[in-house]
Chain A
Amino acid sequence: MYRHLLLFLLLALPQIHSLSAQAQVKYEKERRIRPNAAPSAARSFLTSLDVDGRIRWYREERLDGASIEAKFRHAGASYSVEFDTTVVVEDVETTIRREDLPMPAGASIAAYLHADCSKYNIVKIQRQYTGVKAGSFSLRAAAGDSSLTIRYELVVRCHRNHSAELYEYLFDHTGGMISTSLIVWRNSTHLEY
């Protein structure tokens, strides 16, 4: 029996290697870094925001480049600030509740999801601010700042054809759909067996 097992492993290992190479097509890796490893300009920007909670710093590597991300809680909400490699703020995101979606954007988003999925549950909603300029950005005043571009990023459990998947939808400030992508779950074999 053990000889057969060994033979099976020898045949299977090349498959594993090729699969791991395929999986790298959607490469995204987030690694926690120490605060002093974050660029000083990024730290200065965070200091100017005067946040309540502890700031956690991450370095994210993607196929199209790398970014630095700061995550924290402020006034009961979760925030993340993403910087590009030149330490320019890419976007600021904050979690909001479903009832915080303004009208008519909220109704437009609900209508789109209703048409796209046979049944859906919204797992998370984030308000995304782009066009952020250091020195003039305020967490408290961001929602009413007309110089910022506001988008909504939703993580949605969407049922289609008797199967449920998790999707990320991006909508503009009027509720118009910009993009959608399937969220691929990480392998959990080592947790299940």
Chain B
Amino acid sequence: MNTNVAAWLLTVSVLLHGSGASGQSTYQVGGLPSLNLNGRLTPAWSLHFKIESRQLFGKGGAAMEPRRAYEYVLTDVSLLAARKAGLRGRFAGGYLIRREAGGTVHRFIQQYTFVQRLPRFRLAHRLACDQTISGEEKPAFRLRYRITAEIPLGGSAVDPGEFYLKVAHEYLGSRQSGESLLEARWVPVLGYDLSGAVKLESGLDYRKRPFPGMDSRSSYWWTVNLFLSLWQ
């Protein structure tokens, strides 16, 4: 349990450090609920469907007055086909469509994930790239790496009816119209395994871009994620 507390404190300290920069920085606060459906087609192949919506509750910063108002931002719908690669790896590729006020965005995604089972927790690595096109903006290309730790709060592994901590850290580089940008994300959430096939998580999704940088935008999203596994 001490390890779990230490991991939590480390996350909080990183967040406080990351959000401490002032300058001309701005912030936004909102909600980011998502629903994830995963279905196994064969022992090797699976499909992953996700719908995620983003709502803004307020924003502010050094150069603007804090404003509290509800604003719908966007909805992402994605479908990825994945193939098992070895014992612990998986390649996936698919398509995401984003509906937002400015129009529709199309994104093509490719990713490789690798899950390590360590004596007291699990560690997942994700290396992904995507290409985004829309009618309003020039194409954008992104490369991202995420490391995620799943720390059981009830034993040496997460069993149905138990809580867990999930802490993710991600770096996301993007290039659009000749300009490059780096974004960093920290996502600590508390999860509950309802039945092995159903997991519910809630916590913070903190994003800072550009990273590092004083004139940056910090985004604080309250996340609620529901994961349902079908035909597993």
Q: Are A30 and B155 in contact (CB under 8 A)?
A: yes
Q: Are B191 and A30 in contact (CB under 8 A)?
A: no
B-binding segment of A84-92, A100-108, A139-147, A182-190: A182-190
Q: Are B197 and A188 in contact (CB under 8 A)?
A: no
Q: Are B122 and A191 in contact (CB under 8 A)?
A: yes
Q: How many residues of B contact A (CB 8 A)?
A: 49
Expressed in whole angstroms, the Cα–Cα distance for A23 and B201 within the complex equals 21
Interface majority SS (helix, strand, loop, mixed), chain B:
strand
Residues 163-181 of A contacting B (Cβ, < 8 Å): 163-166
Interface majority SS (helix, strand, loop, mixed), chain A:
mixed
A58 at interface by CB-CB < 8 Å: yes
A187-B229, A191-B148 known; A29+B36 contact, CB < 8 A: no
CB distance from A57 to the nearest CB of B (A): 11
Q: Are A189 and B229 in contact (CB under 8 A)?
A: yes
A-B interface pairs (CB < 8 A), number: 102
A36 at interface by CB-CB < 8 Å: no
Q: Are A190 and B225 in contact (CB under 8 A)?
A: yes
Expressed in whole angstroms, the Cα–Cα distance for A82 and B7 within the complex equals 29
Provide the residues of chain B in CB contact with A15, threshold 8 Å: 230-231
Instruction: Name which residue of chain A comes closest to B195, CB basis.
Output: A20
A19-B197, A192-B115, A193-B48 known; A12+B166 contact, CB < 8 A: no
A157 at interface by CB-CB < 8 Å: yes
A16 at interface by CB-CB < 8 Å: yes
Provide the residues of chain B in CB contact with A188, threshold 8 Å: 115, 122, 124
Instruction: Name which residue of chain B comes closest to A56, CB basis.
Output: B156
Q: Are A30 and B156 in contact (CB under 8 A)?
A: yes
A19-B232, A30-B156, A58-B156 known; A190+B197 contact, CB < 8 A: no
Expressed in whole angstroms, the Cα–Cα distance for A187 and B125 within the complex equals 15
Q: Are B37 and A12 in contact (CB under 8 A)?
A: yes
A31 at interface by CB-CB < 8 Å: yes
**A interface residues, Cβ below 8 angstroms from B:** 1, 5, 12-13, 15-16, 19-20, 23, 28-32, 58, 71, 78, 157, 163-166, 185-193
